Amino acid sequence: MENIELFSARVCPFAHRSRLALMEKNLPFTLIEIDLRNKPGWYSQKNPAGAVPALRQGEFLLRESLIVNEYVNECCAEPALLPASAQQQAEARLWIDYAGSSFVPLFYRLLKAQQEDEQVVVATELGRVLAVLDEELKRRTGEGPYWFGWQVGLTDIAFYPWFERWAVLVHYRSLRIPDHLTSLLGWIETMQERDAVRLGSEPAEYYIDQYADYAAGRK
């Protein structure tokens, strides 16, 4: 297998997804940090889209975190980051899609909302999504600590980076994850104990500082 290079940015939750996938698969890779506020000219030549993450192997370049993660999972058989059965794989991809279509957009809508009435509306919507996640995780109680059993997977990875950044919503929008969502909170704690998560984690203060422009409506 050719060497893997991952173009990433520590602040970016999408890049965070792909770092986690590579680390969970135990695949060696070279991490190349991109300053998103001052992208080097050479990066635009290698990746005209200019976004992170991007994975490169020789002449092969792949973008978009979820596609990168699917590719990473196919690069070697073990550990598998999708369930064994075709039905559960489809279900896993439905939840991954839910992360992208419902959870992640609401995170940013709330952070960027400047009017208090809009913040209340979006926070309520996001609270409903959190309740859906908690209910699904509760339904799976006894099957293992992760979304699909005892092995961490692409579904867990699709959601987790935004929970590491949740301190941003607490700080700027006073939105905490309710204490009664015990299954969701337990899953977050379990993810925080993973070596891949601990090795790449950043303190809350880092994210609060980095997301200040979003919260102030400057970005």
pLDDT in tens, 95-104: 999 999 999 9
pLDDT in tens, 178-202: 999 999 999 999 999 999 999 999 9
Per-residue confidence (pLDDT) for residue 141, from 0 to 100: 82
pLDDT at 219 over 90: no
Per-residue confidence (pLDDT) for residue 1, from 0 to 100: 59
pLDDT in tens, 4-48: 999 999 999 999 999 999 999 999 999 999 998 888 888 888 888
How far from each other are the two terminal CA atoms of the chain, in whole angstroms? 40
Amino acid at 215: A
Q: Which position has the higher pLDDT, 45 or 214?
A: 214
Cα pseudo-dihedral 187, 197, 84, 155, rounded to 10: 60
pLDDT in tens, 51-93: 999 999 999 999 999 999 999 999 988 999 999 999 999 999 9
Beta bridge partners of 7: 32, 54
pLDDT in tens, 146-180: 999 999 999 999 999 999 999 999 999 999 999 99
What sign has the CA pseudo-torsion 17, 18, 24, 30?
negative
Per-residue confidence (pLDDT) for residue 18, from 0 to 100: 98
Q: State pTM to two decimals.
A: 0.95
